[in-house]
């Protein structure tokens, strides 16, 4: 992952992390707040219903007291006790009208119903609920079951009742009240704004209002086993909570996008000079020593850019000077080697010519014999001079290479099959296939030929043995040629690759120098180490291609 990407993610994480951490806390606080609000509304609704129920009790008591003090109640009671004709059974209905009483009956001292507004057909009977109200303290409302008329027939229904004696008529009592039904639930719901159910035990006598969402219930006792169940819902608060959470999510999302954008901008501004430095360092590694990093950067990065540009300028100047010095030193070495190689055949040539000149000047009869004897040796020395000059010419200027992908193991197998080795040379091979390098096949063949001839010549006077191996080592492909000769002393290892150095009679000392130069120009190396049989192992190291079997060599 690139530094810019890592910095962008780091900036985004630093900006968003507080939002992500605080979001659950905010959501919990919202939930807690709305739960408390729901509790408060439930308590408030229960308190309103409690107050409404208390007002209802007061209103019932007052309405019954007013009806008992009404002149019509006195007249009705006297008419029921007098010798004259009895009033109709529903005569009490006129006393209930306008007073909000759904239950009203005139009773005697024994509890017998003399006149009923809510159930005229029960006149002359004793209603246990009305009797319970008669037996309660005067004016104190009680909850009791009364008989009422219904379309499906008589039924027993709980009611809130109050009893008062009829003024001026001893032994006459007026019992009135309201039924605990849907009408009462509707009145309580209207006053509290909540859903209300009038219950007796588990039985729902009536309900009104709707509390949507999650409901919270409270019970308000009405008397006996009757109660008003009050419910409030959290639909509105849930909607508000959802809207707030959505707004919070939008804030978090906007914060994430903004932080990522700012992170990318800051990371780009921070890493741009570093990326330029990386590209510059890669260019320097590729040999472009005059590379400069353009642009400015703040702080330590700017100082690093200036230091890099100064370093490349110094490195370029130093490298140019070193290249010139090395070139001069190399040609001096080549000149010394060439002079040495030319001097060796020139000495016998000079001696032979002086001998022939002296014999001719003296008129020696042996001149012809001397000439015949010296001519082949002189011709051989001239050929040797020609070979030396040709070898130095090849070293000075190798032909231009034409590199292409080469399976090193398969190529080595083919090259060894075409190599004209002596039958007396014992060869062992271990050639791994699929190791692809980029190389010039002809120059690679020249290296292998030089290494094979060098291995065979190093074992002169003994049974020659040569091992050729191709294997992989990390990002490199290795071509190894091992012999069973006397080996190479450590102090002589590097001298073997110097132009003009040779331990063989008549050798030019350029074969290994040319082989190393080819290896270097292919991005590899050529070295010599001690082998397992005490001989020398010449190891050609070439970089594997990126699409070959193994990683690419580092640039």
Residue 292 or residue 131, greater confidence: 131
**pLDDT confidence of residue 549:** 46
For helices 3-68 and 182-192, the axis angle rounded to 10 degrees is 130
DSSP, collapsed to helix, strand or coil, labels residue 179 as strand
- Please choose, from the candidates 235, 220, 180, 177, the residue with its C-alpha nearest in 3D space to the C-alpha of residue 203: 180
Count the helix, strand and coil residues of the chain and give each as a percent rounded to the nearest 5.
55, 20, 25
Residue 131 or residue 302, greater confidence: 131
Shared-domain flag, residues 379 and 442: no
Residue 151 or residue 245, greater confidence: 151
Residue 295 or residue 505, greater confidence: 295
Shared-domain flag, residues 475 and 409: yes
Domain stops at, among 179, 207, 242: 179
Residue 256 domain flag: no
Q: How many structural domains compose the chain? A: 3
pLDDT digits 0-9 by tens, 215-234:
889 999 998 889 999 998 88
Residue 540 main-chain phi, psi, to 5 deg: -95, 125
* CA contacts within 13 A on the Cβ side of 540: 33
List C-alpha distances in Å: 461 to 91, 450, 531.
155, 20, 19
Residue 1 domain flag: no
Q: What tokens appear for 20 in the block? A: 């992500």
**pLDDT confidence of residue 3:** 62
**pLDDT confidence of residue 552:** 44
pLDDT digits 0-9 by tens, 44-83:
999 999 999 999 999 999 999 999 999 989 988 888 877 7
Domain boundaries, position 108: 69-179
- Please choose, from the candidates 266, 253, 250, 254, the residue with its C-alpha nearest in 3D space to the C-alpha of residue 9: 266
Shared-domain flag, residues 122 and 95: yes
pLDDT over 80 (residue 170): yes
Residue 101 domain flag: yes
Shared-domain flag, residues 429 and 516: yes
Shared-domain flag, residues 347 and 409: no
Domain stops at, among 396, 417, 442: 396
**pLDDT confidence of residue 46:** 92
* H or E element that contains 196: strand 195-200
């Amino acid at each position: 992952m690139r530094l810019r990407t890592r910095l962008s993610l780091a900036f985004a994480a630093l900006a968003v992390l507080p939002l992500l951490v605080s979001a659950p806390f905010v959501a919990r606080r919202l939930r807690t707040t709305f739960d408390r609000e729901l509790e408060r509304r439930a308590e408030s609704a229960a308190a309103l219903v409690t107050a409404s129920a208390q007002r209802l009790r007061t209103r019932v008591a007052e309405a019954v007291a007013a009806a008992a003090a009404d002149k019509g109640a006195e007249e009705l009671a006297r008419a029921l006790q007098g010798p004259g004709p009895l009033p109709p059974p529903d005569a009490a209905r006129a006393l209930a009208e306008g007073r909000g009483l759904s239950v009203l009956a005139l009773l005697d001292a024994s509890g017998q119903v003399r006149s009923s507004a809510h159930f005229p057909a029960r006149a002359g009977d004793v209603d246990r609920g009305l009797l319970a109200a008669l037996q309660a303290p005067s004016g104190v409302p009680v909850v009791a079951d009364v008989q009422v008329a219904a379309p499906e027939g008589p039924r027993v229904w709980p009611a809130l009742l109050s009893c008062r004696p009829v003024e001026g008529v001893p032994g006459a009592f007026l019992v009135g009240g309201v039924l605990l039904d849907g009408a009462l639930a509707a009145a309580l719901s209207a006053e509290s704004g909540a859903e209300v159910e009038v219950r007796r035990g588990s039985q729902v006598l009536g309900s009104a209002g709707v509390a949507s969402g999650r409901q919270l219930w409270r019970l308000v006792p009405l008397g006996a086993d009757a109660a008003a169940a009050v419910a409030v819902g959290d639909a509105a608060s849930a909607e508000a909570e959802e809207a707030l959470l959505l707004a919070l999510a939008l804030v978090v999302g906007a914060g994430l996008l903004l932080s990522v954008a700012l992170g990318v901008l800051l990371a780009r501004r921070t890493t741009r000079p570093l990326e330029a430095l990386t590209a510059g360092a890669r260019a320097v590694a590729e040999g472009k020593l005059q590379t400069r990093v353009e642009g400015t950067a703040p702080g330590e990065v700017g100082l690093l850019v200036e230091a890099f540009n100064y370093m490349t300028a110094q490195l370029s100047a130093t490298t140019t000077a070193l290249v010139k010095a090395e070139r001069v030193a190399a040609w001096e070495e080549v000149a010394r080697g060439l002079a040495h190689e030319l001097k060796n055949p020139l000495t016998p040539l000079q001696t032979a010519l002086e001998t022939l000149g002296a014999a001719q000047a003296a008129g020696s009869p042996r001149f012809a014999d001397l000439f015949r004897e010296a001519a082949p040796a002189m011709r051989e020395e001239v050929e040797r001079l020609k070979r030396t000059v040709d070898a130095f010419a090849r070293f000075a200027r190798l032909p231009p290479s034409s590199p292409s992908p080469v399976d090193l193991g398969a190529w080595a197998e083919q090259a060894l099959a075409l190599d004209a080795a002596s039958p007396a040379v014992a060869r062992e091979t271990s050639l791994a296939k699929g190791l692809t390098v980029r190389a010039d096949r002809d120059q690679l063949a020249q290296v292998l030929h030089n290494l094979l001839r060098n291995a065979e010549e190093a074992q002169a006077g003994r049974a020659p043995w040569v091992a050729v191996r191709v294997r992989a080592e990390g990002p490199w492909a290795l071509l190894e040629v091992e012999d069973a000769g006397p080996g190479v002393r450590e102090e002589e290892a590097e001298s073997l690759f110097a132009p003009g150095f040779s331990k063989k009679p008549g050798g030019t000392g350029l074969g290994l120098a040319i082989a190393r130069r080819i290896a270097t120009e292919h991005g590899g190396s050529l070295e010599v180490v001690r082998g397992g049989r005490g001989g020398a192992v010449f190891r050609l190291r070439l970089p594997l291609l990126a699409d070959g079997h193994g990683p690419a060599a580092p640039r």
